[in-house]
A and B are shown apart, each in its own frame.
Chain A
């Protein structure tokens, strides 16, 4: 370790500027304004420097001990938390300086570390981002009451970091008390973004509205809110003029139009406005006239009957939106109103039609006009033919998501989205890197073509909606198709697989998916080999989530060490036995092994499978807010020892 640090090379430079450059490969280079040296130090790898002690520091050349003021100044240019994490590992004084100057903290698993520890370490932080429940909670696979409570975090931050200005929470339980506490504790609170959260009502929003005098952003993205009424909007004081972004698209109740109009009139900086469905098309016209500077617009319902004059006025209002880059909402849109949008199409980089139940023929002209589109979310009503239009018109497309129109699943589809659509887009759109695609059938040949066309894919999430669906032409498993994807798309970071898959598919993924960070699997594979391939092969694997696959114990226990290098592993309805869970826990103290099972475990034999297991690495130890149906070896030690005979 000492060798790493004495590698410092000294060069004299005559410039007085502070120049900072962190290469992602090896070197950390910076120039201090005084005494004007360039230091080149290899980027500290956490593995090598973790055991650095003060003995080593005394061996360092004097030049590395920068005055903390200088280091602070240098660090003010360092935004990336990854780099900051590296800086903090160089030595104690750097750790101290870094932690006191970090302004933005990301905690990607709220149970990986305690709120107190975070608040203590970063007292000056202005922004906190937290994620709570595992991803599969989105699909109702995590029972209510599992956890992910925001309260302890808000309490801790209120006590130690009163200058907090921004809070971004995803998949957490947020109560009205939490919102009231935020309103009361952070004097300069500016940004609240809640994604897929639940537990609060519109009363909590009123508390935020009334108290946060410098509020800039209030965004509720797909939250489940107890909607008591639309009054909350009227609580924004007349003195509030700083609003930049407002998103209440997930609320049901109608807000008073006059309140909204007044708010818009006094918000000259408003760039993003996402209305809820209750805002009528008629109202939209007057709102747009008050905010022609909008960059992002989410409309309300797009289906009133308007008279000719109203339509003309609305059309005019849309054409005044010269800055508009993003369009969403469009609930219930009637085909005859789609032409209203034509004027904004050329400027759009993002279009979300995923709630617009229009048929393909109504969309064609709209899509043709969107020549600068980078992100398109649409329903499968667009059909393969519509995606051909996308392929020929939207040459800048980077992200495509196609959602199923049948909410109740396979039997409800109006249309049959096939592999053809995606193949067309992969051919026509050279910048396509992210795909989420729901469809009824696929083929290996199509995936091979897509991989060949688009080796630049970074995210490929394919959902063939019927479980175990084979290649519909050859009736073979989709192994070869996914092999092509992972082989050719060398930068693939996120993958979701579906259809009929054998262990071979996962052997390929393990062999080639070296940059894969997140992997989602359902109804696939044949045996433990599958899990073994993944855990032993995918070096960068960070999050793995699996449901309804036939494997468990052996692969899990053999690759237990891998789990500490990952953020989390989720397995539900697989073959993980209770005994294996008991064996795993004491082996890996830095992991929380949670068995989530709604049937009592006390009388469960070791060999019986558990419903769900959620394993995540943590510094905080077992959490204190576990409900009855979550079992860990620490919480229920009486069910402790495994009698399972495993090699």
Chain B
């Protein structure tokens, strides 16, 4: 899908009205915010690497809406996108991240000892636990915009750093384009393999270009710590295991992530981060912590209750199907995770998941026993 064709210079010969996209059928954050005046202001700007406003918004034009979630409809092509196009992105960020203001500061806390509890979610209900985040390497363009040379450089850096991990983080890298059939099958069985994105949301922003060049998967021998290279972000770091011991999952997550970051720093590369936006990632929805901590949990009764949506909202949690963001739930098993990314720290978000899931499981048990859970209704967090 498109790249490099939104930089057509002749477009400046047309008036802003003639170039302004038709967003009348659209329902995403970008469409809510991008007025003709704003488009007129931004259309002749570009970041130092050449990313333009049409690049930022193309995915939102080509994907008017989504049945399950309110999509963002725009992406960053590099770190500077968030500055050059702040007129558009600040209101999108504010709308998406619960009123986060341009002057707000974000806090980072990757100390797993600060998490209270989380080691005893009932495994009869909580089938698996997972924490993921993304990281971008400063000085390189992001997946919608990076060249093959940049993408390969990111891959090389990732391979070098990950090869230094040892102990329970000792592992191996599998480049997508060199994978044997056996390796591929194993990775599919482990639920690790990511395939070429099929979501039009991702394809329309140019993230699928040159697939599978520069893409790969690294995981530790224990298959509990996993890094995706050059999928939607430079790096996606994932800690996961069966059952409900979120504390352990988060501990491994923090330890591994911190090690990777220091390995990158040793080689003179930092992650994109600033005190306003936290970790800078491709999608504005993942700014801040970039963290999604979640469980697959059996909630067949609670999920049918009329107050389910309200409960999730008060707990600041989000539901997805067990296939991930674009899927529906199967058999009453839901993916429940933190709704927030920005304005809360990593520890705070995982705490919300731990406490919230505990509450949901208690509610489920109540309904199983034919009792109400009204006294368990939480306040708005």
Specify whether A and B are partners. Answer: no
